[in-house]
Structure 1
């Protein structure tokens, strides 16, 4: 009776193992590889529902290179792995647990033999030991020298700048009273005579300044924008002012002004060259116009004050650095440049020497 029960249990266990072996399989494309050679393992499961294939575990001496996607074909699921080994010897791929419908199934184990590659040292070509290879020079090798050189150059240039530049900060301010238009015009005529422009054949600049003096007088004294208007516009405005009794002048004076402006336009734009008598006559006409063309002032505003001060800025006379200071600065600059050139020369020579030594070692 006991033998019968044992026999039944043995058959049941054998049937279960056969069922597991048929349901879960593991196989390798090869069981003999060389060091570093890759091989493939495939796990097949004869079921497609509720199947879990975990990652390969407990691999001693073997490494998983890649895990491919799971394939489903009819009623079978397969999973492929790519493995390799970097140590020689015999290594087992242990039994792997597969979960099918919450039940555990185990695969068989695999024995993988990893062999070494035989090398015939007598046929291997030998090479001599190479010497130290010099690295190419970079900016960091000369960074400190360049920074020091730039600092010294900036100091020298700053010293030269402040030593040679003229001071523009200190300015002398003087206050002079503002002249009346009539007085200013007469003074400017005298200054124009002192320049002797037309006597030196500078007729165009002479007439330009002469008409500017007259225009400026008309603008300041009669409040006519003579500096901006043309000759005809000025004459029309003066005739209107004369008819309106705003200015005290005769129409003949306005006509003389027109002839003066026309003569100046011919000189400036048509390059006319009047005779000396005509130039002298025009000078007298300009003074005559200034003397005989004045505004009519009311009694209340008859007194006009021209004492408003004008600020005239004059630059002070500052002595330039003497010759000795210039010579000293030039010598200092030359010395700094010489020191920098010597230092750079030594660095370059040292770098070449070290490079030659490295080449000799090689």
Structure 2
């Protein structure tokens, strides 16, 4: 009886720890004018839930963004750990504030971080520090060997520029010739590349990582050519957010979302995919590409 009660308590404890969370933290609350400060955003959201990551813009409340890190994600069971780092600063002396940020999660209450006050102060100036006059410029004796070195350097630079110009002209002519010969629309190109990938049988020969890497690259290049998105440098979670408005049906979005997350797990050696999952991942991309084809209109009678 005691063992059952203990097991029940442990089950409740584990459920209590696995819950939605969101927080914002800084590495210090006092900085000198223009000195960098690190803002860490972290959250835990259900794996199957849709969420909207908070947007933090430069210039809010006197806070300037120096660098925005990528949104990293890590799947742990039924949850996704999210993390993003910002490098901030301020050029306003006194107290500035990082505003409260909001994380929206499907079927859950909006998660809000607490505002963070930052004290910005001027660097300390020592009154007793000595000051010195500016020294007059020193005369440097003329060196005739410099003329020789400069002449040889100029000749070498001219030769290099001429070589690069000839190489560029040759490459430009080749590229223009290829463009004239081949003009494949994005949809036709993507479908052709998917057929080639499928025919190569990479995952059937134990090359699942290479299979998913090429599948991701085909999808990203298609998104850049078709919609002008910056997809090649995007993570799986960032790409999921970008493609949602482009999906005409929920099934296309859900299938692509599962494909991208499975691809990330396989490429980073965190999970081995099943044969049917490999097939479904490629079909998800193919269905999405086909869905972007404009419907053909019947000719007027």
For the criterion TM > 0.5, the same-fold answer is no
Q: Which has the larger radius of gyration?
A: 1
Structure having greater relative contact order (Cα 8 Å, sep ≥ 6): 1
With the length of structure 2 as denominator, give the TM-score of the two structures. Answer: 0.36
With the length of structure 1 as denominator, give the TM-score of the two structures. Answer: 0.31
